Amino acid sequence: MKFTDGFWHTRPGVDAQYAAEAYDIEARDDADGGRLVVLAPTRVVTGRGDTLNRALLTVTLSSPLEGVVKVRIEHHRGARTTPGFDLLGAEPGHGVAVAGPSGGTLETGPLRARVSPGDPWDLTFEADGTVLTRSGHKSIGYVTLSPDAPVAADPAGVAGVTTTGRAPSSAYLHNQLCLGVGELVYGLGERFGPLVKNGQSVDIWNADGGTSSEQAYKNVPFYLTNRGYGVLVNHPEHVSFEVGSEAVEQVQFSVPGEALEYLVVYGPTPAQVLERYTALTGRPAKVPAWSYGLWLSTSFTTDYDEATVNRFIDGMAERDLPLSVFHFDTFWMRDFSWTDFEWDPRVFPDPEGMLARLHERGLKVSAWLNPYIAQRGALFDEASAAGYLVRRPDGSVWQWDRWQAGMGLVDFTNPAARDWYQDKVRALLAQGVDTIKTDFGERVPTDVVWHDGSDPGAMHNWYTQLYNEAVFEVLKEVRGEGDAVVFARSATVGGHRLPVHWGGDNSSSFESMAESLRGGLSLTLSGFSFWSHDIGGFEGKPDPAVFKRWVAFGLMSSHSRLHGSQNYRVPWAFDDDSAREADGQDAVSVTRRFTRLKLELMPYLYQAGVEAHERGVPVMRAMALEFPGDPAVEYLDRQYLLGRDLLVAPVFSAEGDVTYYLPAGTWTNLLTGESAGGGWRTERHDFSSLPLWVREDAVLVTGPGAERPDYDYADDPLVTVYPGTADRTVAVTHPETGEVTTVAVVRSDGGATVTASPAVPFRARLAGGETVEASGGTAEVRA
């Protein structure tokens, strides 16, 4: 939200009072740890008269976790404020506060916050003797607006709130943190524009805007920079960011109301920032191995019944296309009835029997849900009478006709409504459903009253967390820890604990394929570890070239789903008479190739998921996350790392032309065995290929010939040792028992010794060399 008119002036109708000095700095210590409490008047106090008729801001610094400084700025402390996000990892006892004539400091691990006394206002964050960022002159502002102020203050006009009737706030607090020369900002949720956020205005307000707009389904008020720190603005309500787009030397963030709270999270590397951030906000659940396999959907508005489902599954089996999950989209329920949890009896007269038959074929089953209750459905009257639906201020049920006719919205702030909805999910799982696609959750009104009295503005973004938590909790209860997974569209801070998320409604084009990747990388730079997208695009029918290129990209993502809107997404629907299976260029062959490749890579990919669960480092990693300090990677948004050791550069053209970058070191092409050094490369690939490179020093454990994703990864795996000089130990985790086998590689001139512990049969080779059988858990491999 922009309040200024150039560098010197505010916009008409805007009154801004800025923290002018640190008038009083006090160090306090209690059971929660050290705190600095700073009084910041909005005028330099030169005499007693300057203390009158002026706003006073209170700035409190504390540390909820080592390496994290929390800053809370308050104007009127008695005003009602919204609670922040769930900081599950917060611990007491962090932070050492000191105050004296030279100012105040708060130290927490390697991070120090320093407040200079007097004027101008100066709050500096530093680590290891280096200044990370600073809140300086005119950076903290208490802003009031006149009714006619030309400022976009209402989220209804800013970021697509789904209902009108909420008056804009008249008071805001903003803070600015300086951007150094060459400093770049990433994150702020799943955003489909440029990966680097410098120069952008970003509104944190969940909206159903598709992937081709500035709106986002997953808004996360957290960003990280290439200077070794991240910032979480601890507000679930509307947060406006101006990333060098108003004050070009600053990141500005503002919230309505009387308080603003943000946390500075130190790294020093981007990956370590995410580790510390997820230690504070919670780590993602471990996802089941079967979820990494290929998902096939009925698609959205297509006609289908059990015969159609069986035709698809039979077609996949006949074409040797491994399938892990079958998804029933919206019309498993009757039209005009979503969500009533009842299978449409006209097309699914025996749902329990059908689901059992699908299980007999080795498939998991996914079903679509949303948090809206249509008026036609039998549940509407039940939920309305019980007070389970969100109500308007006059006591009537909030309803509208967008999406489902006369729909209401489940009030998850009501414990009884939450229990009621969860019982419906339990019944669905009892029928044989294994996982839930939790669609929507963005269309949340603000002209309503919530059961627990929550602020409607704060509930707009926070609602998705309550919705997804309610469903995930039941999945975990029924299926057990490690076997629960949702397929969610909307999210905010904390949503990363509830994987998996997919990118929403994209289009069937190369441009939309590229924007989907940008959104995914932006999301993973915001603390989310697992991400998927609709292969081929959701809207429209992709031409064969788009579909086949997208298949390769989709199967080299953490999770892979074939899904569309008005067209089925079975691969043979994208082959014509000119497609020849013999040369591997048809859609079926391409799908088979990359599905089987992903299954072979499952020991490696599953371990990357375990690492995400344990450390909060994403499976799909932007180049800037993995190679900090390399200026060539800072803007790259058309390639990524899949886990630590695989570099993927999707092809975004029918002809197969692609330009990408290999960082310094020796890289080995996984598909061809070619070796190359770092630098830019321009190539042309057929449909059966894409740039897929293995990093120097990698040790890759794979399962050649795998037929499904959830096999015993330590049962006769292949260990491939790639060029490099460093010894390396990697882990292989059994997807069901959790038993860990370690594979240690000790290099020597011309070869390496590979040892498995505990000793298991395996095969090993140097990349490009001969394969040898291990003896007693050890293998010697030579060039």
* Widest pairwise Cα distance in the chain: 89
DSSP 32-63: TEEEEEEEEESS--SSGGGGSSS-EEEEEEEE
Q: Which of 190, 208, 434, 442 is catalytic?
A: 442
Q: Which of 439, 483, 575, 637 is catalytic?
A: 439
Alpha carbons 268 and 237: distance in angstroms, whole number: 29
User: Please, which residues have CB within 8 angstroms of residue 369's CB and are 6 or more apart in sequence?
Assistant: 339, 341, 425, 428, 436, 437, 438, 439, 471
Look-up of token digits 């499952």: 602
Active site includes 630?
no
Q: Of 510, 504, 506, 609, which Cα lies nearest the Cα of 552?
A: 510
Alpha carbons 470 and 388: distance in angstroms, whole number: 14
What is the distance, to the nearest Å, from the Cα of residue 61 to the centroid of all Cα atoms in its chain? 28
φ and ψ of 467, to 5 deg: -65, -55
Q: Is the dihedral of CA 132, 136, 138, 144 positive or negative?
A: positive
Alpha carbons 498 and 558: distance in angstroms, whole number: 15
> Is 643:603 a contact under the CB 8 Å cutoff?
no
φ and ψ of 256, to 5 deg: -75, 150
> Is 255:237 a contact under the CB 8 Å cutoff?
yes
Neighbours of 168 (CB within 10 A): 18
Neighbours of 350 (CB within 10 A): 12
As given in the structure block, the two tokens for residue 564 are 């569309």
Measuring CA to CA, how many Å separate 684 from each of 498, 651, 653?
Answer: 39, 9, 10
CA-only gyration radius of the chain, Å: 27
As given in the structure block, the two tokens for residue 76 are 């009127």
As given in the structure block, the two tokens for residue 616 are 């909060």
Q: Amino acid letter at 545?
A: A
Helix, strand or coil, per DSSP, at residue 523: helix
Q: H/E element holding 478?
A: helix 456-479
Long-range CB contact pairs, 358-363, < 8 A, 24+: 358/309, 358/313, 358/326, 358/432, 359/432, 361/313, 362/708, 363/313, 363/323, 363/324, 363/325, 363/326
User: Please, which residues have CB within 8 angstroms of residue 534's CB and are 6 or more apart in sequence?
Assistant: 502, 503, 505, 506, 561, 562, 563, 564
Q: Which of 505, 586, 637, 696 is catalytic?
A: 505
Q: Of 49, 54, 58, which Cα lies nearest the Cα of 23?
A: 58
Helices (H), ranges, 60-214: 155-158
Alpha carbons 230 and 270: distance in angstroms, whole number: 8
Helices (H), ranges, 304-408: 306-318, 351-360, 378-386
What is the distance, to the nearest Å, from the Cα of residue 616 to the centroid of all Cα atoms in its chain? 11
- Indicate the DSSP class of residue 308: H
As given in the structure block, the two tokens for residue 304 are 């289908």
Alpha carbons 428 and 475: distance in angstroms, whole number: 11
Alpha carbons 759 and 475: distance in angstroms, whole number: 36
Active site includes 505?
yes
Active site includes 442?
yes
Q: Is the dihedral of CA 469, 481, 487, 346 positive or negative?
A: negative
> 569-592 in b/e burial notation, b at 16+ Cβ within 10 A?
bbbbbbbeeebeeeeebbbbbbbb
Catalytically active residues, by annotation: 439, 442, 505
